Structure 1
Amino acid sequence: MSKKIGHGHARGHGHDLPQLYEKLRLISICRLGHICRLYSLIFMFMMTFRVCISLFLVLFVVTFFSSCKREDEPRPLSRSVVVSIAPYKFFVEEIAGNTIDVDLMVPTGGSPHSYEPTTRQILATSKADIWFQIGESFEARAFQALKSYNPEMEVIDMRKGIDLIDEKGHVHCHHHNCKDPHIWLSPRLVKKQAEVIAATLSQHYPEHAERYEKSLRKFQQKLDGLDVQIGSIVQQAKSRSFLVSHPAYAYFCRDYGLMQLSIEFEGKEPTPQHLTEVLNRAREMGAKVVFIQAQHLSKGARLVAEELDAEVVELDPLDENYFENMLHIAKSIAAQ
């Protein structure tokens, strides 16, 4: 039986051979089809990759050359200006409104007498068309750095045409030929400076010249009103002299017939000799208040206040809210 079974099995295989060959042929064809499809996918991927690379190169070249400017191509107006301190930001915005952006160099709380701009700040302000300066030492150094980025920037010296006050024995003498730079603390001088601001803006942005002229007239009228208010306030002051840690109010005093006595000496803490002189003069004028400035913290001022048993009052001549701040200064001086 085993043989019969064996022969029967052999004959069965013999009959199945054609079918087996057919299956193998079909399997080979299927595999060949898969291989062809695989090669097709690889080919399509390679072609897509080449197309992507080509598009990337085209975009890179276009972007690169579009970002490059010819040397003779004029620089487009950035419609932004730089000011050194906050009050001038207020002045420019009063005239220009929203027609330009105004960048502030010395941040809130900083002192223009000791400030040094950072590289990031230099880069941030490098596209400005104009810089309105007040004669601080940092301005010249910063402008030298800015010139390499923007040689077309125009610098406007706001002191030009103003009767500047000599200030011997002060820190500004060393850098500015003994001229007091605090010219914004006189509304009368701000009126003149406003004309310079309006004229400069009109020259750079002539399409807004009419608007600037109208804004200038309104601003000057407001300054006239402020001048009258301050004059009326200080007229009621019991004393025409006042004691300060930092001598920022020379132009204010000239306008309104006042006198400031500075504790600071040559931009530094007072020497023993100067401190003695200040105390003697302060007692003679009956000083009951010592006005200090947040940007100039003075140990000497605190010492003088203790010796005189005087009140310490902080004023901020760099406040951006110009009208409100000037009235606050006037009222504080009158109330001492």
Structure 2
Amino acid sequence: PGANPHTYEPTPRQLKRVVQADLYAIVGSGMEFELAWLGRIRRLNPRLFIVDCSKGIQRLVDDPHLWLSLRNAQRMVENLLEGLSRVDPEHSGRYRERAEAYLEELRKLDAELSRLFSKAKGRAFMTFHPAWGYFARDYGLRQLVIEQGGKSPSPKAMVRLAKEAKEEGIRVIFASPQFDRRAAEAMAHSIGADVILLDPLARDYLENMRRAAHAIARALRVSP
């Protein structure tokens, strides 16, 4: 948990656990390590049942961060429930009970955030890494991204982005702890903004989504 999913490699101990597992859940978003390791995992454990948690989710182009949407998370829980019930039907009732309890928490938080951003439709926030596109889509926001094609932008692109940021009144730039923050800090310096970290991989999912939402709301100067 917390490792950079773009460069992650499983440890020998983790691979051993996969060999012994009955079910393997993938985000299914095209994340590099999943694509790179899925074939090997299938060879290590041919009987392994693989659940694609992205089934039924409408994708955004070039954005694998499906989980940074409470609405996507609901579908992911449902997909995982379906897989667990198929692999272990004896305990399907218990899985369903726990899934429904968690789904209710996801729905409540989504409703809370919908109210929070109800008066911010069309407003823009700026990030270094394009991780929050699904979140922006859920609540009618716009994500301005510094990173270009997985790389820091050219000087010309930085000038264009700085102009756009000033026009949008950007005073905060969000960065991820998994990535180099120098480009974000350079942009922040050029427009007089602060850099704030949002961790897309924090352990406590619900609390992290709430914390990130309120950080974005403050950046947009939206009152709870």
The two structures share one fold, judged by TM-score above 0.5: yes
5+ residue gaps, structure 2 = 220-224
1:122 is matched with 15
Q: 2:70 aligned with 1:165, yes or no?
A: no
1:293-330 superposed Cα distances (whole Å, 9 cap, x missing partner):
00112321110011111111111111121111111111
Does the Cα contact within 8 Å between 1:292 and 1:312 map onto a contact in 2? Answer: yes
2:49 is matched with 154
Residue 197 of structure 1 is aligned with which of 76, 80, 93?
80
1:131 is matched with 24
The alpha carbon displacement at 1:150 in A equals 1.3
Aligned runs of 1:201-240 on 2, under 5 Å?
A: 201-235=84-118, 240=123
Q: State the alpha-carbon separation in 2 of the partners of residues 312 and 221 from structure 1.
A: 33
In our comparison, the structure showing a higher alpha carbon Rg is 1
Q: State the alpha-carbon separation in 2 of the partners of residues 238 and 145 from structure 1.
A: 44
1:238-275 superposed Cα distances (whole Å, 9 cap, x missing partner):
98111101111111111101011111111111112221
1:256 is matched with 139
Code of the aligned partner of 1:116: E
Aligned runs of 1:291-310 on 2, under 5 Å?
A: 291-310=174-193
The alpha carbon displacement at 1:120 in A equals 4.1
Residue 158 of structure 2 is aligned with which of 275, 296, 304?
275
Code of the aligned partner of 1:182: H
2:60 aligned counterpart, secondary structure:
coil
1:27-47 superposed Cα distances (whole Å, 9 cap, x missing partner):
xxxxxxxxxxxxxxxxxxxxx
Does the Cα contact within 8 Å between 2:170 and 2:193 map onto a contact in 1? Answer: yes
The alpha carbon displacement at 1:283 in A equals 0.7
Query: Taking structure 1 as reference, are residues 249 and 158 closer, same or farther at Cα in structure 2, changes over 3 Å only?
Result: same
Q: State the alpha-carbon separation in 1 of the partners of residues 55 and 216 from structure 2.
A: 29
1:174-197 superposed Cα distances (whole Å, 9 cap, x missing partner):
xxxxxx211111111211121111
Q: State the alpha-carbon separation in 1 of the partners of residues 152 and 54 from structure 2.
A: 28
The alpha carbon displacement at 1:163 in A equals 0.8
Identity in percent: 37
The alpha carbon displacement at 1:149 in A equals 2.6
After TM superposition, the score normalised by the length of structure 2 is 0.90
1:9 is matched with none
- The count of aligned residue pairs is 217
1:69 is matched with none
Q: State the alpha-carbon separation in 2 of the partners of residues 188 and 133 from structure 1.
A: 17
Query: Taking structure 1 as reference, are residues 200 and 238 closer, same or farther at Cα in structure 2, changes over 3 Å only?
Result: closer
After TM superposition, the score normalised by the length of structure 1 is 0.61
User: Which deviates more, 294-303 or 112-121?
Assistant: 112-121
Question: Larger % of helix: which?
Answer: 1
Q: 2:81 aligned with 1:188, yes or no?
A: no
The alpha carbon displacement at 1:136 in A equals 1.3
1:69-116 superposed Cα distances (whole Å, 9 cap, x missing partner):
xxxxxxxxxxxxxxxxxxxxxxxxxxxxxxxxxxxxxx32x2111222
1:19 is matched with none
Q: State the alpha-carbon separation in 1 of the partners of residues 121 and 93 from structure 2.
A: 45
Structure 1 outlier segments of 4+, above 4 Å: 236-239
RMSD: 1.8
The structure with higher relative contact order (CA 8 Å, sep 6+) is: 2
Q: State the alpha-carbon separation in 2 of the partners of residues 121 and 224 from structure 1.
A: 32
2:222 is matched with none
5+ residue gaps, structure 1 = 1-106, 168-179
Code of the aligned partner of 1:253: A
2:183 aligned counterpart, secondary structure:
helix
Q: State the alpha-carbon separation in 2 of the partners of residues 325 and 236 from structure 1.
A: 22
Does the Cα contact within 8 Å between 1:237 and 1:333 map onto a contact in 2? Answer: no
Q: 2:130 aligned with 1:247, yes or no?
A: yes
Q: 2:6 aligned with 1:113, yes or no?
A: yes
